[in-house]
Amino acid sequence: MIIESFFEKLYTEHNGELNRRVRDFFGASLSDHEDLVQEAFSNMLSHQHIDKIEFPKAYLLRSAINIGLNYRSRFKNTQHFLDDTRDNIDEPLCTQGSPEDLCSMNLRIEYISDAMNTLTDKQRDLIVRSRIHGETYQQIKVATGFSLGDISRQMQSAIEQLHSYISAKNA
Protein backbone atom coordinates (compact mmCIF):
# COMPACT_ATOMS: atom_id res chain seq x y z
CA MET A 1 0.00 0.00 0.00
CA ILE A 2 2.88 2.38 0.73
CA ILE A 3 4.36 1.78 -2.72
CA GLU A 4 0.97 2.36 -4.37
CA SER A 5 0.53 5.74 -2.71
CA PHE A 6 4.19 6.66 -3.46
CA PHE A 7 3.72 5.68 -7.07
CA GLU A 8 0.38 7.47 -7.38
CA LYS A 9 1.90 10.65 -5.92
CA LEU A 10 4.90 10.35 -8.27
CA TYR A 11 2.58 9.93 -11.24
CA THR A 12 0.34 12.89 -10.45
CA GLU A 13 3.24 15.21 -9.62
CA HIS A 14 5.56 14.40 -12.51
CA ASN A 15 3.61 12.86 -15.40
CA GLY A 16 2.95 16.18 -17.15
CA GLU A 17 6.50 17.43 -16.81
CA LEU A 18 7.96 14.09 -17.93
CA ASN A 19 5.73 14.09 -21.02
CA ARG A 20 6.84 17.63 -21.87
CA ARG A 21 10.55 16.88 -21.36
CA VAL A 22 10.41 13.68 -23.42
CA ARG A 23 8.51 15.54 -26.18
CA ASP A 24 11.16 18.32 -26.06
CA PHE A 25 13.98 15.76 -26.22
CA PHE A 26 12.62 13.93 -29.26
CA GLY A 27 10.85 16.84 -30.91
CA ALA A 28 8.24 16.23 -33.56
CA SER A 29 10.06 13.11 -34.75
CA LEU A 30 8.35 11.00 -32.10
CA SER A 31 4.64 11.46 -31.53
CA ASP A 32 4.31 8.70 -28.93
CA HIS A 33 6.04 10.51 -26.07
CA GLU A 34 3.15 9.70 -23.71
CA ASP A 35 3.60 6.00 -24.41
CA LEU A 36 7.29 6.27 -23.54
CA VAL A 37 6.51 7.88 -20.20
CA GLN A 38 3.85 5.25 -19.47
CA GLU A 39 6.32 2.49 -20.28
CA ALA A 40 8.90 4.12 -18.00
CA PHE A 41 6.38 4.13 -15.14
CA SER A 42 5.55 0.51 -15.90
CA ASN A 43 9.23 -0.44 -15.86
CA MET A 44 9.70 1.35 -12.57
CA LEU A 45 6.87 -0.67 -11.03
CA SER A 46 8.61 -3.88 -12.04
CA HIS A 47 11.87 -2.71 -10.47
CA GLN A 48 12.70 -5.04 -7.57
CA HIS A 49 14.04 -2.33 -5.28
CA ILE A 50 11.80 0.60 -6.11
CA ASP A 51 12.34 2.02 -2.63
CA LYS A 52 16.09 2.30 -3.28
CA ILE A 53 15.72 4.57 -6.33
CA GLU A 54 17.25 7.79 -5.07
CA PHE A 55 15.86 10.21 -7.69
CA PRO A 56 12.64 8.69 -9.08
CA LYS A 57 11.82 11.60 -11.43
CA ALA A 58 15.30 11.45 -13.00
CA TYR A 59 15.02 7.65 -13.20
CA LEU A 60 11.71 7.93 -15.05
CA LEU A 61 12.98 10.60 -17.45
CA ARG A 62 16.15 8.67 -18.26
CA SER A 63 14.14 5.46 -18.67
CA ALA A 64 11.61 7.10 -21.04
CA ILE A 65 14.41 8.62 -23.13
CA ASN A 66 16.26 5.29 -23.32
CA ILE A 67 13.09 3.51 -24.39
CA GLY A 68 12.60 6.12 -27.13
CA LEU A 69 16.21 5.83 -28.30
CA ASN A 70 15.93 2.04 -28.42
CA TYR A 71 12.71 2.34 -30.41
CA ARG A 72 14.35 4.78 -32.84
CA SER A 73 17.38 2.48 -33.24
CA ARG A 74 15.22 -0.58 -33.94
CA PHE A 75 13.18 1.43 -36.43
CA LYS A 76 16.32 2.62 -38.26
CA ASN A 77 17.78 -0.90 -38.33
CA THR A 78 14.54 -2.28 -39.72
CA GLN A 79 14.37 0.50 -42.31
CA HIS A 80 18.00 -0.14 -43.39
CA PHE A 81 17.28 -3.86 -43.68
CA LEU A 82 14.20 -3.22 -45.82
CA ASP A 83 16.06 -0.72 -48.01
CA ASP A 84 18.99 -3.13 -48.50
CA THR A 85 16.63 -5.99 -49.28
CA ARG A 86 14.72 -3.89 -51.78
CA ASP A 87 17.98 -2.80 -53.45
CA ASN A 88 19.26 -6.38 -53.70
CA ILE A 89 16.18 -7.95 -55.23
CA ASP A 90 17.20 -9.47 -58.54
CA GLU A 91 13.70 -9.85 -59.82
CA PRO A 92 11.27 -7.02 -60.46
CA LEU A 93 8.53 -6.58 -57.89
CA CYS A 94 5.94 -6.65 -60.65
CA THR A 95 5.94 -9.95 -62.52
CA GLN A 96 3.68 -8.71 -65.30
CA GLY A 97 5.80 -6.70 -67.69
CA SER A 98 4.77 -4.57 -70.56
CA PRO A 99 4.95 -6.11 -74.02
CA GLU A 100 8.16 -4.15 -74.60
CA ASP A 101 9.73 -5.60 -71.42
CA LEU A 102 8.75 -9.13 -72.39
CA CYS A 103 10.13 -8.68 -75.89
CA SER A 104 13.36 -7.26 -74.51
CA MET A 105 13.70 -10.14 -72.06
CA ASN A 106 13.11 -12.69 -74.83
CA LEU A 107 15.78 -11.00 -76.96
CA ARG A 108 18.27 -11.11 -74.08
CA ILE A 109 17.55 -14.81 -73.53
CA GLU A 110 18.03 -15.43 -77.23
CA TYR A 111 21.33 -13.48 -77.25
CA ILE A 112 22.61 -15.41 -74.24
CA SER A 113 21.59 -18.73 -75.76
CA ASP A 114 23.29 -17.85 -79.06
CA ALA A 115 26.37 -16.63 -77.18
CA MET A 116 26.55 -19.86 -75.15
CA ASN A 117 26.47 -21.82 -78.41
CA THR A 118 29.69 -20.08 -79.51
CA LEU A 119 31.58 -21.58 -76.54
CA THR A 120 33.36 -24.92 -76.52
CA ASP A 121 31.70 -27.75 -74.60
CA LYS A 122 34.31 -27.37 -71.87
CA GLN A 123 33.73 -23.63 -71.51
CA ARG A 124 29.96 -24.05 -71.52
CA ASP A 125 30.22 -26.75 -68.81
CA LEU A 126 32.43 -24.49 -66.66
CA ILE A 127 30.08 -21.49 -67.05
CA VAL A 128 27.05 -23.58 -66.10
CA ARG A 129 28.81 -25.13 -63.11
CA SER A 130 30.18 -21.81 -61.83
CA ARG A 131 27.58 -19.20 -62.71
CA ILE A 132 24.36 -21.22 -62.66
CA HIS A 133 25.03 -23.96 -60.10
CA GLY A 134 27.31 -21.77 -57.97
CA GLU A 135 30.14 -24.27 -57.73
CA THR A 136 33.54 -22.96 -56.65
CA TYR A 137 36.61 -23.54 -58.77
CA GLN A 138 37.79 -26.09 -56.21
CA GLN A 139 34.50 -28.00 -56.48
CA ILE A 140 34.75 -27.93 -60.27
CA LYS A 141 38.33 -29.21 -60.05
CA VAL A 142 37.24 -32.18 -57.93
CA ALA A 143 34.30 -32.97 -60.22
CA THR A 144 36.09 -32.58 -63.56
CA GLY A 145 39.77 -33.16 -62.84
CA PHE A 146 40.73 -29.87 -64.55
CA SER A 147 43.48 -27.81 -62.89
CA LEU A 148 42.55 -24.57 -61.14
CA GLY A 149 44.67 -22.62 -63.64
CA ASP A 150 42.90 -24.24 -66.59
CA ILE A 151 39.49 -23.55 -65.04
CA SER A 152 40.42 -19.91 -64.46
CA ARG A 153 41.77 -19.44 -68.00
CA GLN A 154 38.79 -21.15 -69.61
CA MET A 155 36.31 -19.13 -67.50
CA GLN A 156 38.05 -15.85 -68.35
CA SER A 157 38.08 -16.69 -72.04
CA ALA A 158 34.43 -17.77 -71.98
CA ILE A 159 33.28 -14.64 -70.16
CA GLU A 160 35.17 -12.41 -72.59
CA GLN A 161 33.65 -14.28 -75.52
CA LEU A 162 30.12 -13.99 -74.09
CA HIS A 163 30.60 -10.31 -73.36
CA SER A 164 31.91 -9.60 -76.86
CA TYR A 165 29.08 -11.52 -78.52
CA ILE A 166 26.33 -9.81 -76.52
CA SER A 167 27.93 -6.36 -76.94
CA ALA A 168 28.08 -6.86 -80.71
CA LYS A 169 24.39 -7.86 -80.79
CA ASN A 170 23.36 -4.80 -78.71
CA ALA A 171 25.31 -2.38 -80.92
pLDDT tens for residues 83-142? 665 665 555 545 566 777 778 778 778 878 888 899 999 999 998 888 888 888 888 999
What are the residue boundaries of the structural domains of the chain, listed by start? 2-87, 99-170
The Cβ-side half-sphere exposure at 117, using a 13 Å CA radius, reads 6
pLDDT band at 144 (very low <50, low <70, confident <90, very high): very high
What is the pTM for the complete model shown?
0.46
Task: Write down the H helix ranges in 47-120.
Answer: 56-87, 99-117
Kindly report the CATH number that applies to the domain delimited by 99-170.
Answer: 1.10.10.10
pLDDT at 128: 87
pLDDT at 123: 93
pLDDT at 85: 57
- Identity (one letter) of the amino acid at 26? F
Q: Is the pLDDT of residue 31 over 80?
A: no
Q: Which DSSP category does 132 fall into? A: I
- How many whole angstroms separate alpha carbon 92 and alpha carbon 7? 55
Determine the 3-state secondary structure of 110 from DSSP: helix
pLDDT at 28: 66
